[in-house]
Structure 1
């Protein structure tokens, strides 16, 4: 079995569509963060995928198209329960902190698992066995808030969310569940996980990193570091504005975390990053489950399942239909729409022109047409007007909108239109790129030139120089 987590940065904008998402990832359990859709934006092609059952959490506050997570489970591995929140109403804080639980940041799925003999592994998948012998497992698909040091309210929000998440998984551990936490935690845990850790003051003292330390000290394991403890530059997200993915200048903030006991039982055999998969500023993180373990599939789907929504009952999209979609038909429709709009615009412009000349000729009243000196202009267009069937008012209208004479070469307009000389960067001898300051402050929106190459490590000759 394969567990995959991926922050897609907008589920409707995935490069290559669901062909990339399901066919290439080949996931049995797929956890997606930052869907950026609300329930009314959910469509059948996203909700109901052939061979999968899905569970969405939506942002319920005023932020449209914000946050959101979804968990897709193979129909061979149906969960027994699915929940779209972390907080438990009526409980004391932090477990009852419902105020930080309305942005659609978590989906919880509960399973039963069992270990099978090597000679029967792979032959019993999808069977509905006696649940009494199953081992309880909960998977929490989570999208933790981003840290914003300039916004104290969001810093506090992130801190409260972390406390709620930990309280929820600890409650499951108390109830006898094994726990898997997957998703975008928006924290680079150690210096090895951050490309600019040496530039951050008191990096290890950050309260959110200290929270992760507490989590791991309480009996949880970072699966990637369990199998690749010393791997350098193993990042999962890059700044697209600086082109940092080309130079692998990023951070590792996407995780698959499990309790120590489950890991000691040999549940996972590997965890790695699929950096070759594009379509988002993040890459997928994959954990391979040992073939001796299987999920006991539930007989019934949980009520949160998208297939049970009234608007989607009986409507299921086959992956094959996605793979066989005729892109030419879509292109033709777009082309036809563009041509229609262009034709309407042209018709509108011609009608406006001829209605103007017709009105002027009929009324004989030219008081609305500006008076200009047009001696040179008439000499240029007299032959055209004599050989073309067009009213005098139309000729006069053309003369009013055409320039009286060419502006001198040294005019302000001419200087503005001259191509500016682009400077050459000192590090590579290449044309620099124009940038705009986006950080709030006195230089906001000011333009400047910098090396056009992507941002990267100072030792990387292919990265941006200090120009």
Structure 2
């Protein structure tokens, strides 16, 4: 059984077919984070994928934000599925996984707030171990909050989310389930998990201390203080104990360097593997001893600023006979129980309308004779029957046209370039008149031109004549469009003053890349040139050099 975790950074951003993408990941349970879809944004091709059942958790606060999802192949259909960690979002007891732990350390508003951003979705599977014993395996897919240094409230939110996650995981273990916590944990554990370890203060970060106390003794970093007062530590509660989980990657590769899962896309840091390990698969100690087979970091899989990670388990899954109620196929908009908004804008043909009218007229008639009796009988908008002369009904009904008719004046809207280059449109008309020598000026005066073809609306042509002239017309039109485009570009450059060619960096003598300052401050919005290579260590000659140059605009 293979389980995969991936921060996809927007499930709709992928240009590939959803089934094709899922199949390429070659896993039984695929857990995605940062899907960035809310319930109203979820479309059918994303929600319903052949061969899979899917379970989503959406943000209730912001649209296109956060979000998690589990895709399970049919042979690993879960028995239960839940949204959130606290249980307040679970609608039915039949599909409840249960075992939520002691929440006395959390206020009611705090619990609601922690489960309101769609950061956790759980699926429970029945598995058969190698010793032929059957156990429940709960997969907790989480997208832990990011620490925003400018917002202290978000730092507290992150720590309290950690505390709720540990509370639920340890409660499930206590109930006899095996537990896997996976996803974007949004912290690095050891210095080896970061491309550029920070100073000694980083070892005191609450997020690193929380992850360190979560793991068993063999995985802990001795340089991180694990003496935690659980009454005062915001990332834990007095009812949690710690030391119950194994970092599956370090279980097999305790000292491997460069095992990163996240890179900065703005600096092209992935090219030099200048990143961090923020994504983890944590398994309970007993499951790790009995079932762990292999783990991997799929750094070659692109499409996000994170890469997928996988774990292989030595067990088989016993699929449930039916999917839990959280499954997307039971949503009213996908199960056919809810009228879709798009149906109101679908164009219906006259034949379909007439067929529907015939069906309405023949509701009470089961024979041909009954249909004849209903000849000439129609219903008005209130459903009342009224008779009508059949001979009259066969005549066409004249309807009064309403609305604005299309303009036939042939007036065209002036282009923006006309304000800067008054002779461009006249030049274009003159070029148009020269397309064919035998054509009159009046014929091409009203011709419509685009990048693909000219089409004369006034004189219909045969297929043969159209085919013979099409090649020359298309070639001429393409030349005119290209000439006009180049002229437009030159006009804008003369008007605004281009930046000119990019300077060469001093480290590699290569063209630089243009960037803009987005950080608030006096330089926000200013542009600058920097080395185009990916970010990396200063000792790495393949990494970008320290070249920097502010952009100075040309004066007219």
* TM-score, structure 1 as length reference: 0.73
Write the distance in 2 (CA, Å) between the matches of 1:26 and 1:419.
47
Partner-residue secondary structure (3-state), 2:286: helix
Partner of 2:324 in structure 1? Answer: 302
Distance 1:314 1:289, change over 3 A: farther
Deviates more, 1:240-249 or 1:17-26: 17-26
Task: Write the distance in 1 (CA, Å) between the matches of 2:12 and 2:103.
Answer: 36
- Listed one character per residue, the Cα deviations across residues 114-148 of structure 1 (whole Å, up to 9, x for unaligned) are 22469xxxxxxxxxxxxxx6212211000001111
For residue 375 of structure 2, what is the aligned residue in structure 1?
none
Q: Structure 2 vs 1, CA of residues 352 and 313 (structure 1 numbering), >3 Å: closer, same or farther?
A: closer
- Which residues in structure 2 correspond to 1:4-153 (within 5 Å)? 4-61=4-61, 63-89=62-88, 91-94=103-106, 97-116=111-130, 134-153=134-153
Q: Structure 1 pair 300/151, CA: closer, same or farther in 2 (3 Å)? A: same
| C-alpha contact 2:19 2:50 (8 A) present in aligned 1 | no
Which has the higher Rg, Structure 1 or Structure 2? 2
Q: Which one is further off, 433-442 or 280-289?
A: 433-442
Deviations 1:322-341 (A, max 9, x none): xxxxxxxxxxxxxxxxxxxx
- Counterpart pick for 1:252 among 245, 269, 277: 277
SS in 2 for 1:76: helix
8 Å Cα contact 1:80-1:111 kept in structure 2: yes
CA RMSD of aligned residues (A): 2.9
Q: How does 1:435-454 map to 2 (within 5 A)?
A: 435-454=515-534
Any residues of structure 2 matched to 1:329-344 within 5 Å, and which? none
Q: Please give the alpha-carbon distance, in whole angstroms, between the structure 1 residues aligned to 2:82 and 2:53.
A: 14
Which whole-Å CA distance do the structure 1 matches of 2:257 and 2:15 have between them? 28
1:232 aligns with 2:257: yes
Which structure 1 residue ranges, 5 or more long, are not aligned? 119-132, 316-346, 354-373, 391-412
**Cα distance change of structure 1 residues 49 and 450 upon mapping to structure 2, 3 Å threshold:** same
Distance 1:461 1:154, change over 3 A: same
Q: Distance in 2 between matches of 1:243 and 1:259?
A: 36
- Once the two structures are TM-superposed, the CA of residue 17 in structure 1 deviates from its matched residue by 3.0
Relative to structure 1, is the Cα distance of residues 308 and 438 closer, same or farther in structure 2, using a 3 angstrom cutoff? same
> CA shift at 1:352, angstroms?
4.2
The structure-2 alpha-carbon separation of the partners of 1:80 and 1:348, relative to structure 1 and needing over 3 Å to count, comes to farther
Q: Secondary structure at the match of 2:171?
A: helix
Name 2:504's counterpart in structure 1.
424
Q: Say whether the 8 Å CA contact 1:108–1:140 is kept in structure 2.
A: yes
CA shift in 2, pair 1:419/1:177, >3 Å? closer
Per the TM alignment, residue 109 of structure 1 is displaced from its structure 2 partner at its CA by 1.1
State the 1:454 CA deviation. 1.3
User: Is contact 2:31-2:71 (8 Å) kept?
Assistant: yes
Per-residue Cα deviation, 1:212-255 (whole angstroms, up to 9, x for no partner): 01111422111011111111111111111111111111111111
Write the distance in 2 (CA, Å) between the matches of 1:81 and 1:348: 66
Q: Which residue of 1 aligns with 2:237?
A: none
Distance 1:201 1:415, change over 3 A: farther
The question of whether the paired residues in 1 share the 8 Å contact of 2:70 and 2:141 is answered with yes
Task: Please name the residue that 1:167 is paired with.
Answer: 167
The C-alpha deviation readout for 1:141-162, integer Å capped at 9, x for no partner, is 0000111112111111111111
Matched residue, 1:282: 306
Secondary structure of the structure 2 residue equivalent to 1:23: helix
Partner residue, 1:181: 181
Distance 1:261 1:452, change over 3 A: same
Aligned length: 367
* Unmatched runs of 5 consecutive residues or more in structure 2: 89-101, 217-242, 338-407, 415-421, 434-439, 443-492, 548-556
Equivalent pair of 1:434/1:448 in contact (CA under 8 Å): yes
Task: Output the CA distance in 2 between the equivalents of 1:81 and 1:153.
Answer: 33
Deviation of 1:389 after TM superposition, in Å, equals: 9.1
TM-superposition CA deviations, 1:360-403 (whole Å, max 9, x none): xxxxxxxxxxxxxx9xx9xx99xx9xx9999xxxxxxxxxxxxx
3-state SS in 2 of match to 1:245: helix
* 2:335 alignment counterpart: 313
Q: Does 1:214 align with 2:236?
A: no
Q: CA deviation at 1:350?
A: 4.3
**Following superposition of structure 1 onto structure 2, how do residues 264-413 of structure 1 map, counting pairs within 5 Å?**
264-265=289-290, 267-290=291-314, 293-313=315-335, 350-352=411-413
Q: Would the aligned equivalents of 2:18 and 2:49 in 1 still touch at CA under 8 Å?
A: no
Deviation at 1:15, TM superposition (A): 4.0
Task: Tell me the TM-score normalized by structure 2.
Answer: 0.62
Any idea what SS the aligned residue of 1:351 has? coil
